[in-house]
Amino acid sequence: MTDFAWTREQFHIPLGLIYLDGNSLGPLPKSTPARLERMLSEEWGEHLIGGWNTCGWMEMPMRLGDRLGRLIGAAPGQTVVGDTLSIKVFQALAAALQLRPERRVILSDRGNFPSDLYMAEGLIRLLGDRHELRLVAPHELEDAITDEVAALLVTEVDYRTGRRHDVAALTAKAHEMGALAIWDLAHSAGAVPVDVTAGKADFAVGCTYKYINAGPGAPAFIYIAPEHAEEADPALAGWLGHASPFAFEQGYRPGEGIERMRVGTPPVLQMAALDAALDIWDKVDMAKLRRRSLDLTALMIDEVETHCPGLRLATPRDGTARGSQVSFRSEHGYAIMQALIDLGVVGDFRAPDILRFGITPLYIGEAEIHEAVEVLARILRGALWDQPKYQRRKRVT
């Protein structure tokens, strides 16, 4: 059983702040500083380069991959941690195309996160412009899966609206048509129950700095279904994905299974932070978290629609069709969000008009929802957003 009073106490939230942006960057677990200090002073400080052997640094990507695997329904040995999400998207997509050499279409939707699409565009250029990135509206994805498609690249939860794809159904259609399915779990892992095994995902990727709370720049992860693990070509063939890295052979031989998706030297400091965050997740039941998330997101929708009639709901009203965020539209969205942040309620803005609120039950409850909406309503009633300081666009929105 998940004790949300206990999980709330595991995070540092600055006094007086309501933090509704854990879908962009999770807050600091209180245990992380001590874990990093131990890594710095006791491991790096005392063991120096010997830490790769004596402190288990080299094994961290696989060990942490197994811990993350529990949150996405993967068996041990099927997930590895490292690099960035964009790199893992590139690896998964390149491997999928190599497994379907006779096909030329990568299918995704127009609502997908731009970086995923940029990776696809770059890969297409590298492959001599022989492939096509085909984009359709999110609700048209299933019908667009034809026998031309090599790979379906789909983000389960839309980063702007929170709309949740039925990735298992899309994957079933992809397999029926002979295509492979890549799931981007950036807004799913740690937010909603995920089961890559039952859903028969061919590849899955995700990040750890959002709902997982591993810190800014925390490493990504990649999963490969066991039937592809010994065939997948990693494309970015780094030395730690080699079958025998310290043999320093001139030619590349892929490592066993998921280990071939390792690229460069593991970011040990960030992995130590991830290790600390996963100690909290070890005590979280995803089904209970999901029920709590649905209650809180429904409350947020009801409260905003009652007290802030000028905002338009962008997130599906049906709980089964949304992730763990709530989004609203307003032509003044950026300025409204800046005013909210100035008054101690932190969400974020996504172009062109989305106010986005991450509802994370590990440290958010009904009281924070009510107070946040009260502040939002006050801003709208008094047009407090209509000040020059709230109109100026910052580099990070």
Q: Is 356 a catalytic residue?
A: yes
Q: Are 262 and 255 in contact (CB under 8 A)?
A: yes
Q: Are 258 and 79 in contact (CB under 8 A)?
A: yes
Residue 203's DSSP bridge partners are: 182, 224
Q: Which amino acid is residue 9, in one-letter code?
A: E
Cβ contacts of residue 167 below 8 Å, gap of 6+? 154, 156, 181, 183, 199, 201
Q: Is 334 a catalytic residue?
A: no
Confidence of residue 2 (pLDDT cuts 50, 70, 90): confident
Cα–Cα–Cα angle for 251, 90, 62, rounded to 5 degrees = 70
Q: For residue 226, give the nearest of 205, 190, 197, 255 by alpha carbon.
A: 197
- DSSP class of 322: B
Asked whether the predicted pLDDT for residue 1 surpasses 80, the reply is: no
pLDDT of residue 143: 98
Q: What is the DSSP string of 212-271?
A: T---TT---EEEE-TTTTTT---SS--GGGBSSGGG--SS--BPSGGGGG--S---HHHH
Q: Quick one: average pLDDT of 126-152? A: 97
Express each pLDDT in 214-267 by its tens digit: 999 999 999 999 999 999 998 999 999 999 999 999 999 999 999 999 999 999
Q: Which of 292, 356, 357, 390 is catalytic?
A: 356
Q: Are 203 and 97 in contact (CB under 8 A)?
A: no
Q: Is 3 a catalytic residue?
A: no
pLDDT of residue 96: 98
| Six token digits for residue 334 | 């950026």
What is the distance, to the nearest Å, from the Cα of residue 305 to the centroid of all Cα atoms in its chain?
A: 28
Q: Are 357 and 299 in contact (CB under 8 A)?
A: no
Q: Which of 83, 109, 184, 348 is catalytic?
A: 184
Q: Are 373 and 303 in contact (CB under 8 A)?
A: yes
Express each pLDDT in 45-84 by its tens digit: 999 999 999 999 999 999 999 999 999 999 999 999 999 9
What is the distance between the alpha carbons of residues 261 and 65, in angstroms, rounded to a whole number?
12
Q: Which of 160, 163, 210, 350 is catalytic?
A: 210
Q: Which of 209, 211, 223, 363 is catalytic?
A: 209
Q: Is 386 a catalytic residue?
A: no
Q: Is 113 a catalytic residue?
A: yes
What is the distance between the alpha carbons of residues 313 and 311, in angstroms, rounded to a whole number?
7
Q: For residue 264, give the nearest of 226, 230, 234 by alpha carbon.
A: 234
Express each pLDDT in 310-329 by its tens digit: 999 999 999 999 999 999 99
Q: Across the chain, what does the average pLDDT equal? A: 97
Express each pLDDT in 166-187 by its tens digit: 999 999 999 999 999 999 999 9
With a pLDDT cut of 70, the percent of the chain lying above it is 100
Instruction: Say how many C-beta atoms besides its own lie within 10 A of residue 372's C-beta.
Output: 24
What is the Cα gyration radius of the chain?
22
Q: Which of 113, 211, 349, 390 is catalytic?
A: 113
